[in-house]
Amino acid sequence: MKKNFCFTILLSSLLAACNAPTKNQQLSEAIRQDASLEKVDSMARAVIRKGFNAGSGYSQIWARDMNTFIEVACEESEPNDLRNAILLFFAMQQPNGEMIDGYVLKPDFTWYDDTPYYSEAAPEHVGFKNTVETDQESSLIQIVGKYVRKTKDRSILEENIAGRTVMERMDDMVNYLMRERYDEKYGLLYGAMTADWGDVQPNDDFGCDMNELSDKAIDVYDNAMFLIALDYLQEMSVDTTLIAKWKKMHDRIAMNVRKHLWDAERQKFIPHIYPEGSPIPEGFDENEIYYHGGTAVAIEAGLLSKKEIEVVNAQMLENVRLSGMPSIGLTLYPVYPEGFFHGGMSKPYVYQNGGDWTWFGGRMIQQLIANGFVEEAYTEVRPMIDRVITNNGFYEWYGMGGVPSGSGHFKGSAGVLAKAVEMFYEWAEKEK
């Protein structure tokens, strides 16, 4: 009798253990019941429905911004309007294959710019470009790739713009980069020295145009963005010759990023290679700086192993702790010394010199989810979610103490969070 009783207790315990929710199921339930995620997603979609400009305070439509809200825009916008907004970029493409940063109607072009861009194929618009950066062509290719993947509208690839198809024009962009922004010695793309993914150089007051004051520099962000673009091109094309060309190019760039930019000992990317001399002041070791945004994009480009992702995420969290900033959206740490950049950015933890940007922190959240670090992602997204609700908006960046700054309805921030929430929900549905 006693043996039977013990056996019954043991069996009941085993059955209870078998029926207990797993850790993933508990996390799935928490995500599905989290009303704040739903609220922020709804707020983000409302912002993106208002148009394709970068946000409040920006009348312009930027490629690098649209690239981070295009997938949500595909769900929330009038399809023909979105398609036309994308095609207008191609109408503004320059004869040498170069792509602009963005465009605006001519009457709205009200700021100083040495070299505005014009095109006979888009006579009502003017384009502009922060030439210190090398992500514009890659951003537009990614926009098209995400648009095609989301809408299944492959006809856009054959759309004829002033005698050349969209697919031909994207190859022209690749050729432009390899001709005008490729360093033969290192086998990598270059731009001017900026802070991580930023588009402001330190040597002049305007800071956005490559000029005689610029310092040629190679970084992980530009090259990771190019790798992602090459992946999308291979996915979209049916031309085996072009696919082979892009794959060879991709593999060579990826190999050279690991060879020249990855610091295996420190398990981090170095900020820059300076082929023609460094602008860094004596006594300051730039290689101590950790670039959060470029690292997040490098993960998206497939440049880090799962173990390396775990390590760099821990490093980001430690940087947040040491800096006192609110989230892993922290641009970089430690910051560049005061006065190195001109203007307001000369101060630490301002704008791209250590400001906290959901626009890139949200991309790291996406990559944590994509690579199986969902629990970490759910914890680390919390400050980003909370500040949207607290401030009733998607601010461009945050300063020390979580002070909101810049555009109050920045669509890049809205887009990356909405996509992250969607990824959380997709994972939670599979694990419930």
Which is higher by pLDDT, 86 or 54?
86
Q: What proportion of the chain, given as a percentage, has pLDDT over 90?
A: 90
Please report which confidence band the pLDDT of residue 298 belongs to, taking 50, 70 and 90 as the band edges: very high
SS3 per-residue string spanning 299-314 = HHCCCCCHHHHHHHHH
- What's the Cα-to-Cα distance from 234 to each of 145, 177, 238, 342, rounded to whole Å? 10, 17, 8, 41
Predicted local confidence at residue 1, as pLDDT: 47
What's the average model confidence in pLDDT over 165-182? 98
Count of CA atoms in the C-beta half-sphere (13 A) of 239: 11
- What's the Cα-to-Cα distance from 372 to each of 184, 298, 428, rounded to whole Å? 37, 16, 12
3-state DSSP helix/strand/coil percent for the chain, to nearest 5?
Answer: 55, 10, 35
Strand, helix or coil for residue 67: coil
Predicted local confidence at residue 59, as pLDDT: 82
What's the average model confidence in pLDDT over 340-363? 96
Please report which confidence band the pLDDT of residue 6 belongs to, taking 50, 70 and 90 as the band edges: low
Residue 160 pLDDT greater than 90, yes or no: yes
What's the average model confidence in pLDDT over 410-420? 98
Per residue in 68-99, pLDDT (tens digit) is 999 999 999 999 999 999 999 999 999 999 99
Q: Report the C-alpha gap between 291 and 296 in whole angstroms.
A: 9
Q: In terms of Cα–Cα distance, which of 297, 316, 431 is closest to 380?
A: 316
> Parallel, antiparallel, or unpaired: how do β-strands 164-165 and 182-183 relate?
unpaired
Please report which confidence band the pLDDT of residue 275 belongs to, taking 50, 70 and 90 as the band edges: very high
Q: In terms of Cα–Cα distance, which of 357, 354, 226, 235 is closest to 300?
A: 226
Predicted local confidence at residue 8, as pLDDT: 59
Please report which confidence band the pLDDT of residue 19 belongs to, taking 50, 70 and 90 as the band edges: low
Q: Which residues contact 204 (CB under 8 A, 6 or more apart)?
A: 211, 213, 342
Q: In terms of Cα–Cα distance, which of 414, 421, 417 is closest to 58?
A: 414
Q: What proportion of the chain, given as a percentage, has pLDDT over 70?
A: 95
Which is higher by pLDDT, 6 or 262?
262
What's the average model confidence in pLDDT over 41-67? 92
Predicted local confidence at residue 117, as pLDDT: 96
Long-range contacts of 37-41 (CB under 8 A, 24+ apart): 37/385, 37/421, 37/424, 37/425, 38/421, 39/389, 40/385, 40/388, 40/389, 40/417, 40/418, 40/421, 41/417, 41/418, 41/421, 41/422
Amino acid residing at 63: A
Lowest mean pLDDT among 106-115, 299-308, 348-357, 402-411: 106-115
153's tokens: 């509208």
Residue 16 pLDDT greater than 80, yes or no: no
Residue 5 pLDDT greater than 80, yes or no: no
What's the average model confidence in pLDDT over 342-364? 96
pTM of the predicted model as reported, rounded to 2 decimal places = 0.95
Q: Report the C-alpha gap between 150 and 259 in whole angstroms.
A: 34
Centroid of chain to Cα 335: 20
- How confident is the prediction for the chain on average, in pLDDT? 95
Q: Report the C-alpha gap between 74 and 49 in whole angstroms.
A: 10
Residue 402 pLDDT greater than 80, yes or no: yes
Structural domains in the chain plus CATH codes = 25-431 (1.50.10.10)
Please report which confidence band the pLDDT of residue 110 belongs to, taking 50, 70 and 90 as the band edges: confident
Predicted local confidence at residue 13, as pLDDT: 54
Number of CB atoms found within 10 A of residue 376's CB:
19
Question: Edge-to-edge strand order for the sheet containing 125-128?
Answer: 61-62, 102-105, 125-128
